[in-house]
Structure 1
Amino acid sequence: MEMPPPIEASTPEDLTREISDRLRSAIDGLMLQSFAPDMSKVMRDFPAAEAASLLRASQPFLRKCHQNGTLPEPQNTTGTRRSYSAKELWEFRQILDKQARTSGSYLPWRQDGEPLQVWQFMNFKGGSAKTTTTVHMSHFLALQGFRVLLIDLDPQHSATGMCGIIPEHEYGDLTIYNALTNLPDLHEPMEKVIQPTFLPGLSIAPAGVRLGNFQLESRGGGEFATRLQQAIGRVADQFDIVLIDSPPQLDILTITGMVAATSVIVPLAPSMLDLDSTAEFLDLASEFLATMAQHNQPIFFDKLKFLITRDEPKDGPSQKLVVFLRTLLADHVMANTCLKSTAIQDATFTKQSIYELNKRELNRDTYDRVRSNMDDVGQELRNMIEVAWGREAG
């Protein structure tokens, strides 16, 4: 790597600006290498076995559908070997569901009477893998055929970046802030804020640094806590599941997420510092919930679940804490945990989820272990969502 020229700024404002410019240029360069020449993300193709698994079908069934003309051949076909784009799988779901004996077999969308599921991921301890987990769950559910909306409420906009969107480069700088603010010259309806992603089925209400302004505006009074709930209500009929990535603190943004949420997941690493921080976070959250109840605006959650992240099964001290948490909180702790993995860390370095990586990019055993783990966590979340709809868990 060629050494850049020395930084020669003489004032604090010039110094911070030059460092910011260098970092932004370097980040853009990494994205250019990792995504595509136009800096846009493209989802990888899926081999036939994986495609069949995502459709919850068998490979012989999929081959038969191509042979009898039920499904067109995928574009990427060489001889008898087929691989499928995410867009093709999304289109195949529409075709297969119309011909299925039971509606919803391939498109598991919510039906009349099944309420929109709004799940908030929150904690104010940094390093809990909150954003990483939220994005992975959004990718998992979209690949399962659900219509998913990811709302990034963190001004650091890490979830937005992992979905391939740079707010300051795209869409006229519209973010979720525009749907929350009541400033006439900045407010926009939620429909204009939401953007499609590179993954069919997944849309995002992106974040940006301007979200911090919402903190200041909320000090002027008004029904700020219900703003997100109202914004989601405008687009509720377009989605099955909404996932909210909250900032790592209990502020007005986290609070407006709590008001909108039907369920909450608290990602939690098994360490004493994380336990102590989470206890303090929940204590503050409890005070807010009590205040809302006193003002005749009680908040109810279908589920309040703790998800153990950065789990190291071979680490004795952390496993003692895992057992401690399960004993203390019982069924409020999710059965599955997110394993600590350098594969996940490496993927997020280039703003990717494990679902975007090909097996050949990692050691096969490592990939299978991490992918299986994320699938298990995602399936548990899906089961809870379907139970909330009154369905049997899949």
Structure 2
Amino acid sequence: MRQSKLLSAQLQVLRQQMYPPEAMKSMKTFTSREVASLLGVAESTLRQMSIDGEGVIPDRQDNGRRAYTLAQINELRVFLAHKRPGESLGFLPRRREGDKLQVIAVANFKGGSAKTTTTVHLAHYMALQGLRVLVLDLDPQASLSTMFGYQPEFDVDENETLYAALRYDEEERRPLREVIRKSYFEGVDIVPGNLELMEYEHETPQAIARGLSRGDGMFFRRLKSVISEVENDYDLVLIDSPPQLGYLTLGALYAATSLIITVHPAMLDVASMNQFLAMTSDLMSVIEDAGGSLDHDFIRYIITRHNPHDAPQVNVVALLRSLFGQDVLAAPVVDTTAIANAGLEKKSLYEIARGAVGRDTLNRALESVDAVNGEIFQLVKTVWGRT
């Protein structure tokens, strides 16, 4: 306990140094070139719109260049979607009436498979495309919350995690909307986590014994029921699952419309994933025997931390592709110092400033992550009936 308090205090000091003066993360601005790339228009079109006073008026930096916030980019999406109705889905790809809310669980109980990093990059990528994203931190270790700038023991009080919405105590349970927080990243909301989430693992067996886990209140249905409360507010829900197959993970698997399994291409990791798949299969059977219906739109494997020059890793990737075919995403996430350096500042590659790492290194890393996230986005759009 003494060492935990020492470390917590030092982490708080580091955060205050990293994000002065409020000790909270903030969102970067975007250049005209970056905005044009995100919107799929020419930079000259943006310049002319700014001159004509159309859309939004960006800020001017000291060097005279235009700087756009993500909120302004989203305003431009709406403006262009109305101005060019034939291209509206390209500018504003949010789900329309009749489109199913996409709930993607990122899972694997092997540590070091980059679950949290994958979730953060996917959330940021989808928000940059104009989607409304909710991320749920189901891991008591709360690494996802840390990446979003929350120090769990300081910033997340009692009954402020997802446990507050899932708990069996009717008097203490809160609506999900009350524990959702706006993040610093425009378009991304978060329900942070901390050690309190372990209470759900402890209480569920007792609730089952007392007959409290029935109907929609059954332990594996509770998360899906809770998400339905805010279904109209989001296009995509991302769940960072805990690294074990407990009641929270079962709830995530049942609530999910799709499943992403991260795998580091090393034999020990693959052997561990095999156990994860076997146990997951058994537990899904238990859910179905209890009346639960599991119908995922897609299940995909992401190769993470891949070194294409490492022969054993290349062989493992080849093995996975030969066994699982198209269920393995075509693009792997390469092992790069850019992601590690960004992680030191609790940032994704989409936040890191140019110059923080070598330009070529950052570009290669972004190309890799963009390719992976682009594949997932395409799968989501296919579910929504868009080709």
* TM-score, structure 1 normalization: 0.92
* One of 158, 172, 180 as aligned partner of 1:186: 172
Alpha carbons of 1:123 and 1:79: their partners in 2 closer, same or farther (altered >3 Å)? closer
Where structure 1 has 5 or more consecutive residues not aligned to the other structure, the ranges are: 1-16
Return closer, same or farther for 1:139/1:226 CA change in 2, 3 Å cut-off. same
Of 293, 300, 316, which residue of structure 2 is paired with 1:298? 293
Q: 1:118 to 1:378 in 2, by over 3 A?
A: same
CA contact (8 A) 1:31 1:350 kept: no
Other-structure match for 2:67: 83
Please name the residue that 1:18 is paired with: 2
CA distance 1:52–1:379, shift in 2 (3 Å): same
| TM-score normalised to structure 2 length | 0.94
Q: Secondary structure at the match of 2:261?
A: strand
* Cα-to-partner distance string for 1:171-229 (whole Å, 9 max, x where unaligned): 75411111111213431100111111111111111111100000011112111111110
- 3-state SS of paired residue (1:229): helix
Letter in 2 for 1:189: P
After superposition, the C-alpha distances for 1:248-289 in whole angstroms (9 at most, x for unaligned) are 111111110001000101000001111110010110111111
Unmatched tracts of structure 2, length 5 or more: none
Partner of 2:103: 118
Matching residue of 1:208: 194
Are the aligned partners of 1:36 and 1:42 in contact in 2 as well (CA < 8 Å)?
no
1:363 match: 358
Matches within 5 A, 1:52-67: 52-67=36-51
Corresponding position: 1:328 with 2:323 = yes
Pair 1:250 & 2:251 matched: no
SS of corresponding position for 2:355: helix
Q: In the alignment, residue 164 of structure 2 is paired with which amino acid?
A: N
Counting only pairs closer than 5 Å after superposition, residues 87-166 of structure 1 correspond to structure 2 as 87-102=71-86, 103-166=88-151
Amino acid at match of 1:322: V
Counterpart AA for 1:54: L
8 A contact 1:108–1:146 mirrored in 2: yes
Measure, in 2, the Cα distance between the counterparts of 1:372 and 1:93: 23
2: CA distance, partners of 1:51 / 1:95: 14
Hey, what does 1:196 align to over in structure 2?
Answer: 182
Query: Which of 20, 25, 29 is the matching residue for 2:13?
Result: 29
Question: Does the 8 Å contact 1:306/1:333 carry over to 2?
Answer: yes
- Structure-1 separation of matches of 2:143 and 2:60: 32
> How far is 1:78 from its partner?
4.7
SS of equivalent residue, structure 1 residue 150: strand
Residue type at the aligned position of 1:104: L
1:48 is matched with which residue: 32, 39, 51? 32
- Alpha-carbon distance in 2 for matches of 1:308, 1:204: 26
CA–CA distance in 1 between the matches of 2:152 and 2:74? 26
- Is the Cα contact below 8 Å between 1:47 and 1:83 reproduced in 2? yes
Q: Deviations over 1:293-340 (max 9, x none)?
A: 223323111111110001001111100111111011101101111111
Letter in 2 for 1:296: G
Contact kept? 1:289, 1:298, Cα under 8 Å: no
- SS of the equivalent of 1:135 reads helix
Bigger shift: residues 247-256 or 90-99: 90-99
User: Is residue 265 of structure 1 aligned with residue 251 of structure 2?
Assistant: no
Residue number in structure 2 paired with 1:74: 58
Q: After alignment, is 49-58 or 254-263 more displaced?
A: 49-58
Counterpart of 2:370? 375
Total equivalences in the alignment: 376
The structure-2 alpha-carbon separation of the partners of 1:161 and 1:79, relative to structure 1 and needing over 3 Å to count, comes to: closer
Seen in structure 2, the aligned counterparts of structure 1 residues 141 and 86 have a Cα distance that, compared at 3 Å, is: same
User: Is the CA contact 1:90–1:200 (under 8 Å) kept in the aligned structure 2?
Assistant: no
Q: Where do 1:334-349 residues align within 5 Å? A: 334-349=329-344
1:239 deviates by: 0.4
The answer (yes or no) to whether the contact 1:336–1:377 under 8 Å persists in 2 is yes
1 CA distance for matches of 2:325 and 2:31? 39
